[in-house]
Structure 1
């Protein structure tokens, strides 16, 4: 049950990003023109506010669904016997992040959808996704494995950093484009063509690093991590295709929404690689030493044709 709740939390945090995207792409960002109320007199949308009010209020209500799942997961982690402190802390981080994210969402409304605050709102969602993913992986346990070679770990961190940079610059592209969430919302003043080129360059760098990581992991015989890297490459290529098509077709709403979903999937696939390479088990192996050949052994062992064990 705990594992299912943790997975549901990951899915819910992706869904609310897509829901928030629907608010922006339908120009419903100020459907509820104030916060925490929807109007000065009401906490709920009124009939006079029309479809835009319903969409914005619906997104606010979906926050409670995400919060309910996070609360259930926290209670399950707390009641687990024996209680595992990492699970309690991670589930608590997800739960506490929801009201903080709600405050950032309120600030976006109170600042009339300032593009920099809107970008911060999205990036905060990526941090929430990180916490939810870490919690889910913790419920699955960690396999006993030797540490990955230092260059491989460094490459995994580099891929994660570039992936994060792609997300950050992507918010700048969004802030310079036409989908502001409301017809009267300001733009960030950046040149859309220039910042889009910077974004595309970072995507190419990310794909190149991911391919390098995949080849390196295959050479080392780290099959699980290599599969995670291959999935990341596939998701990146799909996301890149959507990005190029939407750019050359004047940013149709459906493709922009798919691109937001793709951003979440790229981030999750990146985290999967990071977990497969960097996050190692903390269990003590008493019966036998870990087999270093899982990461390919040493060069001397390979040239000698041995397995790497002595």
Structure 2
């Protein structure tokens, strides 16, 4: 598809649209973080009905008192409001995406690079709402929780793409492999690393859902230096999670090093985001080890999931900027006009 939009469609990407796109992307990260807190504190059924908390229209549940969750366990007001806050923030995201959809249909419907991310995100947000209901109605079944997490992180990537492209000179139809060979190899490595991280997040979410995070508590070296007799699902998923983590960490470091060696002396956005990804991976390793030594304390589990989403966001930005021709090489950067229809 051509990167050139007809002059009739050449309109400025308004600052309001850009700000709303950024706000939606940030909200999606908050939704994931609050969802992680809900999961880590076992608060997923603290509100046993949906969409309200204790009744269908109970949108302001009490804070104090004695309550029972969907499994008949006693829960506190903190558990209730963690779960309910997750729904409220998700509701805010739905409103933001709906506003973006109306805006893009009215003004940018002929610009694929803005139209398709918003339309897909709108569909995903509605499916997410249905999955949220199914998670509650099916008592947080592990497979549904994993699907819920996967779609949530995929929606986040879409919104980050939208926010980043709406700030560019032109909102292109999508990410395309660069023509320059070295740049194309870096782009391909970034795409592979991002996809593997997304898979790693899903496996980690499923591991949490089946309560397998401490499967090797009595044999901490199993799955690290040796592969012993693996007899249960929790052990198998744990091993896959660990080895995929090693692979993703290695790929992120390689990507950061290769981009650093490829960019000009002044650096660039791709190099910056690759460095951020590498730094967050180091933090993630520390949090993963802390999870084991703390018996999966929510103090470390919550940031563990949040940081995973930040790494995914940083790798997404790295991939996007590798598609921008001025990020790599020694050519001087020339500020591009903020108009749809200008060349990339």
Q: TM-score range by the shorter chain?
A: 0.7 to 0.9
Name the structure 1 match of 2:13. none
SS of 1:147's equivalent? coil
| 2:282 is the counterpart of 1:237 | yes
| 2:18 is the counterpart of 1:3 | yes
Structure that is richer in helix per residue: 1
Name the structure 2 match of 1:261. 306
Match among 179, 184, 190 for residue 233 of structure 2: 190
Specify every segment of 5 or more residues in structure 2 that has no aligned partner in the other structure, as ranges.
1-15, 68-75, 214-231, 332-344
Name the structure 1 match of 2:8. none
Cα distance in 1 for residues equivalent to 2:31 and 2:327: 42
Match among 161, 185, 210 for residue 195 of structure 2: 161
Return the TM-score normalized by structure 1: 0.77
Return the TM-score normalized by structure 2: 0.70
Match among 144, 149, 158 for residue 131 of structure 1: 158
Give the drift of 1:88.
Answer: 3.0
Q: Give CA deviations for 1:5-56 in whole Å, capped at 9, x if unaligned.
A: 1111011011111222232233321122233454466444654646244443
Name the structure 1 match of 2:90. 63
The 3 A distance-change label for structure 1 pair 69 and 250 is same
SS of 2:35's equivalent? helix
Name the structure 2 match of 1:147. 179
* 8 A Cα contact 1:39 1:45, kept in partner: no
| 2:328 is the counterpart of 1:247 | no
SS of 2:233's equivalent? coil
Match among 100, 106, 113 for residue 133 of structure 2: 106
Bigger drift between 220-229 and 15-24 goes to 220-229
Give the drift of 1:229.
Answer: 1.6
Bigger drift between 147-156 and 227-236 goes to 147-156
SS of 1:22's equivalent? helix
Cα distance in 1 for residues equivalent to 2:327 and 2:210: 52
Q: Give CA deviations for 1:53-89 in whole Å, capped at 9, x if unaligned.
A: 4443332222221122222333343444796343233
The 3 A distance-change label for structure 1 pair 292 and 264 is closer
Bigger drift between 98-107 and 220-229 goes to 220-229
| 2:106 is the counterpart of 1:96 | no
* 8 A Cα contact 1:147 1:280, kept in partner: no
| 2:250 is the counterpart of 1:208 | yes
Q: RCO greater where, 1 or 2, for CA within 8 Å and sep 6 or more?
A: 2
| 2:132 is the counterpart of 1:117 | no
| 2:13 is the counterpart of 1:13 | no
The 3 A distance-change label for structure 1 pair 58 and 206 is closer
Name the structure 2 match of 1:31. 46
Cα distance in 1 for residues equivalent to 2:109 and 2:126: 29
Specify every segment of 5 or more residues in structure 1 that has no aligned partner in the other structure, as ranges.
180-188, 282-289, 296-310
Bigger drift between 100-109 and 89-98 goes to 89-98
The 3 A distance-change label for structure 1 pair 216 and 58 is closer
Bigger drift between 129-138 and 68-77 goes to 68-77
Alpha-carbon RMSD:
3.0
* 8 A Cα contact 2:50 2:133, kept in partner: yes
The 3 A distance-change label for structure 1 pair 27 and 41 is same
